[in-house]
Every structure is written in structure tokens, then in C-alpha cells.
Structure 1
Amino acid sequence: MQTLYLSRLQHYLFCPRQFALIELECAWEENVYTAEGQVMHGKVNSGGHDTRGNIKSVRTLPLGHKSLALEGVADVVEYRTDEHGVQIPYPIEYKRGKPKSHRADEVQLCAQALCLEDMHNCKVTEGALFYGKTRRRHAVTFDEELRALTLEAINDCRYIIESGITPKPIYSTSKCRNCSLKEVCHPKIFNKNAKAWLSNQITANLNEVRQVNNNDD
């Protein structure tokens, strides 16, 4: 089974076509938003660890899940010692901007929790998303609904990978406007019916030919 990287789940939930362009066609373009994200992660992902009280924080922690064939890196994992002396992982993912209306960030964080559960043979019930604009943590509970959504996203990603088919675009002003791959994706063009688009192109070419002939006359 081919490895699926945790960060790709966020791309899939945001836009299945974006996921496929990155995963299948190795497409990638930078813009101001991706650059801001890299700068933010560069500050966080310095490696190393520190301990404060009963919390040990580990940065840039490699993650994996054998049966799900997941791999990735957690920005920060806090190991919190409970009343029984057991260290419980608490993943924290850093994101630019502010909380989203969709659950893509939550799914990526939940997938990290699944990896930590597989690695440590424990139950991870909660984590947090830290957004650069609000400058605060937003707690995320890994309930059954979010776990089911995460597993569904993993399966959907696997289907795209195994089929090798890039989904057709669904144009959305709010999403497509800020997407770094919009010049690769061409959502407005490919969102149209192919037959209708071809017919319009032929008509436009014929009109150009008629215009040239009229000018020659």
C-alpha cells in the first residue's frame, strides 16, 4: 500500500482536485499564502524538546500508522502525565490565518492522533489547532464523528491514488481565488462541459476565419 502523507488529507478536504494535482501530477505552485504557512512552520519546526511541569513538548515529531500506511510530522506533541503517571500525547498543529468553515484542519490533526495511538498503544482524545491570526489554541475533540470523517477521507484519497484519475474541478470563488494551483487547475475552463467548450472553440475559430475572409474582400 502506497504511503499517504498526513498533510495531503488537508488538501483533499479543501479540494479533491487539488489533492490529485499534487499527488498524481506532482503539481505545486507557491503564493503568498503558502509562503506564509512555510514561514510559520519554519519557526515552530525547530526540533528538540523541553519540559515544563508535567508536560513534555516534542517538536517536529515523525509520525506513522502501519495498517493505514500514514506518514507525516507533527508540529508539536505535548506528552501530559496523568494521575497514574502515564504520558498521554496531545498533538498541536500550527496554521496560518484563522479557523475555517470546513473541517480540513481538524481531519489532519485527527489523523495525527490516529498515528500517535498506533505508535503508543493509547487513546488520544484531544488536540489543538493554533492559528496565526487569532494567536490562540482551538481545542479539537477526537470524537466518533471526526474519526469517521478522517477515515473516510483516507479511503477517498486511496481511491484517487489507486484509480489515477484527477477529479473534475468544481469552481468556487472563495476557494479558487486564493489557491496556488489555480493557473494549473484552470477551474473555470475545465468546469465546463467538454463538448460545449469544444463547440464554442470551433465556432470562435470559424468566426475568425470569416472575419479574415471579409477583410480580404
Structure 2
Amino acid sequence: MTGYEEEDFLMLSGIQHFAFCRRQWALIHIEQLWEENLRTVEGDLLHANCHDSYSSESRKEVFLSRGMPVFSRSLGASGECDIVEFRASSNGIPLHGRTGLYTVYPVEYKHGEPKDGDIDILQLAAQAICLEEMLGCEIPAGAIFYGKTKRRQRVEITEELRERVRAMFAEMHGYFQRGYVPKGKLTKSCNACSLKNLCLPKLCKIKSVREYLNSTLGTEEAGQ
């Protein structure tokens, strides 16, 4: 399969940042900026517990892999899956070192609750594309587990969803190659952004230094 070279791979999890805000993604993945807050710390702890040193275990007819490294040359991305469930099935695929056939079911863990948008769904779909390429299988569905509700949300991995993921990664590679960081646009989503203090979306709205000084100092003319 043709595609991107390994040295050009982007972070798989970056699609969540990109779908949330192009500028946030660029600040993190191009400018290498990051700022911890309660949400990011809680999320890191949940993923650390989930990955559990890249372990695996068997539960009856299900074989679990935690923190499984994955990649896709067509997307030009690599990362990890929180949990991949391999379920015994006559319609599945063979696994090295194990008897029988298995279907593949990725599960992404999030510490909060289901969101209004589809940023979590896009990340799960990207993981599914990686697994499909690596294992030579088709993954019709996966799930997102939300820590706040303690429930799984099943996600159908449709061809439309796959195409959206492919289009986003193509756009991300374009930004990365150009070193392009979009200007900020102040929206209600900014309050939930971990980079709000670094992004400074209010300043991006100001057209000139004079306007900034006037709005900050309350003067009619800069320098008065």
C-alpha cells in the first residue's frame, strides 16, 4: 500500500484537536505548545490506567490488548489504541500465536461525558482505519467509554466517517508541511480549550496595535 513515509507520520490523536479547532491543533503539533489543566491531567490518568504498560488479557471469548501501537500509511499517522477487543468469531481473522478467528473492536476511553460534536468519534474511526490496514480486516463498529457516565457508546464506522477522517488528515499534512497556524476565532468553545491562555483568541480579533491599546487602556488614542 502506498502512502506516507514513517518520518512524515502525524500523531493519530491529533485528529481530535484538529476537529475541535484547527488553531489548537497547529499550536500543539506545529508550535509545540501545551498547557496542563484539570481536564488534561484527568484524561492522562485515565489513559495511563487503561494502557497498564501495554498489557493483554483474556476474558472468556474475548482477548484484550491495552495500549496497542497502531499506524496507517494511507493516513500518515501513528498512535495507540486504549483497548482493542479481539472477539472469537467464525467470521473473524486469525491472530498470530492464537487459535481460532477473531473480530476486531476498538474501544477509546474518555474521562468526561459524551460531547455534542463528533471529535471523539473521528478519533475512534481513525484508530479503526489503522487496525484495518494492519490486520487486513473490516471493522464495522467500535465504542467510546466515558468515565463520567461509566457507559460505552457504540459507534458505527461508516464509509462516510472514514472519508471524513481521510480528508482531515490530508488537511493536517498540508498545514504541517507549510508550517501554517490559522488565526484564532473567538467562539464559545474557547472556554473549554486547554490552550486558551496561550492562544489568546481575543487578540486575534484585534486588527491593529492602536485598537488593542484603546481596548486595553481605555484611551481614545494610543500613547495618550
Q: TM-score, normalised by structure 1?
A: 0.89
Q: How far is the alpha carbon of 1:207 from its aligned partner?
A: 4.0
Within the candidate set 72, 88, 92, 1:81 is matched to 88
Per the alignment, residue 153 of structure 1 pairs with 168
Q: 1:199 to 1:58 in 2, by over 3 A?
A: same
Distance 1:209 1:109 in 2: 52
Q: Does residue 1:40 correspond to 2:21, yes or no? A: no
Distance 2:43 2:222 in 1: 46
Q: Does residue 1:17 correspond to 2:23, yes or no? A: yes
Q: How does 1:105-120 map to 2 (within 5 A)?
A: 105-120=120-135
Q: Residues 76 and 169 of structure 2 are in contact (CA less than 8 Å); yes or no, is this contact kept in structure 1?
A: no
Within the candidate set 57, 62, 71, 2:69 is matched to 62
Q: Secondary structure of the residue that 1:124 maps to in structure 2?
A: coil
Q: Does residue 1:179 correspond to 2:207, yes or no? A: no
Q: Does residue 1:199 correspond to 2:210, yes or no? A: yes
Q: 1:130 to 1:198 in 2, by over 3 A?
A: same
Q: How far is the alpha carbon of 1:96 from its aligned partner?
A: 1.4
Q: RMSD of the alignment, in Å? A: 1.7
Within the candidate set 139, 157, 160, 1:124 is matched to 139
For 2:47, give the aligned amino acid: H
Distance 1:201 1:171 in 2: 15
Q: How far is the alpha carbon of 1:187 from its aligned partner?
A: 0.5
Identity of aligned residues (%): 37
Distance 1:167 1:63 in 2: 29
For 2:140, give the aligned amino acid: T
For 1:198, give the aligned amino acid: V
Q: Secondary structure of the residue that 2:105 maps to in structure 1?
A: strand
Within the candidate set 53, 66, 73, 2:60 is matched to 53
Q: More displaced, 67-76 or 134-143?
A: 67-76
Q: Secondary structure of the residue that 1:88 maps to in structure 2?
A: strand
Per the alignment, residue 97 of structure 1 pairs with 112
Distance 1:209 1:53 in 2: 74
Q: 1:116 to 1:201 in 2, by over 3 A?
A: closer
Per the alignment, residue 139 of structure 1 pairs with 154
Distance 1:209 1:163 in 2: 37
Distance 1:134 1:99 in 2: 8
Q: Does residue 1:190 correspond to 2:204, yes or no? A: yes
For 1:66, give the aligned amino acid: R
Q: How far is the alpha carbon of 1:83 from its aligned partner?
A: 2.3
Q: How far is the alpha carbon of 1:64 from its aligned partner?
A: 0.9
Please give the per-residue CA displacement for 1:45-68, whole angstroms capped at 9, x wherever unaligned.
102111112110010100011232
Q: Secondary structure of the residue that 1:97 maps to in structure 2?
A: coil
Please give the per-residue CA displacement for 1:166-192, whole angstroms capped at 9, x wherever unaligned.
01112112x211211111100011133
Question: Which structure has the greater CA radius of gyration?
Answer: 1
Q: TM-score, normalised by structure 2?
A: 0.86
